[in-house]
Structure 1
């Protein structure tokens, strides 16, 4: 049986707000804390816990459910709390202190642009996606830079392996191998990048392998020129959704600990039709009886997150 999904967004009653022109790490942190741990308005939290917090130095560590999930840890911090600052994050199987992990993921960074005042978070007790959105541009397919809509994923993948202790990951959509603290404007998780973007520990927790994401398309769909204004769901056009798989970049495919296909990104799909180029975000459509949210990105308007149960 799957886990229920909750969508949190900036325009909910009682939602935490990010201030125009002064976007700061502390405000983004408040969004994450409310969604994962505290809840707001009529919306309950996702059931994560705070493992440790250092508010003075803008550091906090969260843990996903030890009942539904792996009990993995996620640290979120910044070198400053200024407008146009940065957010940095790392995950791990266990955590004994800030920056001290067992089986740590690479550290990633994203710039918080001053225009990022809108946001949404979709998740469960095991994982979530967070995307920041610009206040001055509301189309679902952006025609300007990637930096205006940064997005990342934290939590357990939907693994195909039994007892997979390496299932907890962090990814922003690129650069799987090394620690990074700055935003790279050439990619984002809001489309399906045709490159390595995940470091996962092997299923027994010993050693790592590099993975990427794959679906119908490839890096070539990363073009606003391919976008369409079609509202293909309401126009009753025939289309389907393809789940996004986690595939290995390895030299051989005979290891049960690092198989070529490790699993799926929870709730993430790519559509066979593009659309919604000029439709204001957020776009939510019922596809095959389940509501899906279109990712805001500089693409052809292809990628969706299911609002139905994950981990079925």
Structure 2
């Protein structure tokens, strides 16, 4: 069973624009993609739960009628200003802006450079969304010449349900990103760190509504590291795609948790994102899309090098339904 996906981009006709990087601009992007729609594009089907102007806060909920878990995505900023740092966090339990529980890790993004630095400012955005989850990628004009990021600051994260190994998993709503940091935004906060495969990408909760968190790590049939360095100019046929699976606390088999029905070792996999047996397309312009087996995929740029290809792809047509 699959769920349809829509690609929303800042260069679409009628798309909301980020000029100064204020919280209101970023809220407008999220709302128009997920809740309201814009131009010829229909919304992904999420619900607006709360919006506060000062201090800036917005809460969205994924679509229960479409099979979503009903999890909550909260977005805020410590200041109302240009180049504001935006902070996101998920919650499984939500009563109000001030009252929520079983929260996920925080993740951050923002314009970073001022609007006056037009080519460096992170004003370009792309959201790949279903009614139950979405990936958001934020990048600068100067990055588009090639499909690798060279340790430059950018934003990339996932919010929504994962495809669980447990039927009707009540704790499947998560966020996935890179490092948690304070101070200035850093490229290591991006989900692009998934290329390396050595870091936790988020947290999950037990299936019995208890509040002990477990860190989530990623692995595929190719191992933990998904993209080797190099292969910048390679343009291979992509013949094998593997879902990126989520494991609790460790990617090593643990007898203590292997058969635990409350805190499963293998929680499931992220929807729509795959690791390939081939690597390349680093010299293409970003964002780069390729048809694989008759469907369009976005090539997730390698983050750590100026001359490496990628082996990670996100399907832009349909995902396995998180509730199936």
- Structure 2 length-normalised TM: 0.85
Q: Does 1:303 align with 2:312?
A: yes
Partner of 1:249: 249
Shift of 1:169: 0.5
2: CA distance between counterparts of 1:91 and 1:188? 16
Shift of 1:274: 1.6
Aligned with residue 147 of structure 2, among 141, 164, 174: 141
3-state DSSP of counterpart to 2:44: coil
Tell me if the contact between 2:198 and 2:224 (Cα under 8 Å) persists in the aligned partners: yes
Tell me if the contact between 2:6 and 2:44 (Cα under 8 Å) persists in the aligned partners: yes
Partner of 1:3: 3
Tell me if the contact between 2:21 and 2:110 (Cα under 8 Å) persists in the aligned partners: no
Partner of 2:117: none
Shift of 1:155: 0.7
Moved over 4 A (4+): 179-182
Tell me if the contact between 1:146 and 1:297 (Cα under 8 Å) persists in the aligned partners: no
Aligned with residue 186 of structure 1, among 163, 170, 188: 188
> Unpaired runs of 5+ in structure 1?
none
Shift of 1:125: 0.6
1:227–1:111 CA distance, 2 compared to 1 (3 A): farther
3-state DSSP of counterpart to 1:136: helix
> Unpaired runs of 5+ in structure 2?
114-120
RMSD: 2.2
1:11-160 matches, cutoff 5 A:
11-19=11-19, 22-67=20-65, 68-114=67-113, 115-147=121-153, 149-160=154-165
1:225-244 matches, cutoff 5 A:
226-232=230-236, 237=237, 239-244=239-244
2: CA distance between counterparts of 1:270 and 1:214? 9
1:199-210 matches, cutoff 5 A:
199-206=203-210, 207-210=212-215
Write out per-residue CA displacement over residues 148-189 of structure 1, whole angstroms, 9 at most, x where no aligned residue: x211111111111012111000122335xxx96763433521
Tell me if the contact between 2:238 and 2:276 (Cα under 8 Å) persists in the aligned partners: no
1: CA distance between counterparts of 2:170 and 2:126? 29
Tell me if the contact between 1:164 and 1:204 (Cα under 8 Å) persists in the aligned partners: no
Shift of 1:145: 2.4
1: CA distance between counterparts of 2:30 and 2:183? 19
Tell me if the contact between 2:244 and 2:269 (Cα under 8 Å) persists in the aligned partners: yes
Single out whichever of 103-112 and 257-266 deviates more from structure 2: 103-112
Give the number of aligned pairs.
Answer: 300
1:78–1:187 CA distance, 2 compared to 1 (3 A): closer
3-state DSSP of counterpart to 2:191: coil
3-state DSSP of counterpart to 2:319: coil
3-state DSSP of counterpart to 1:3: strand
Partner of 1:291: 296
Write out per-residue CA displacement over residues 214-256 of structure 1, whole angstroms, 9 at most, x where no aligned residue: 1325458474xx2422232xxxx35311110011225522311
2: CA distance between counterparts of 1:2 and 1:141? 28
1:182–1:168 CA distance, 2 compared to 1 (3 A): farther
Partner of 1:260: 265
1:238–1:303 CA distance, 2 compared to 1 (3 A): closer
Shift of 1:297: 3.7
1:217–1:191 CA distance, 2 compared to 1 (3 A): farther
1:86–1:187 CA distance, 2 compared to 1 (3 A): closer
1:62–1:187 CA distance, 2 compared to 1 (3 A): closer
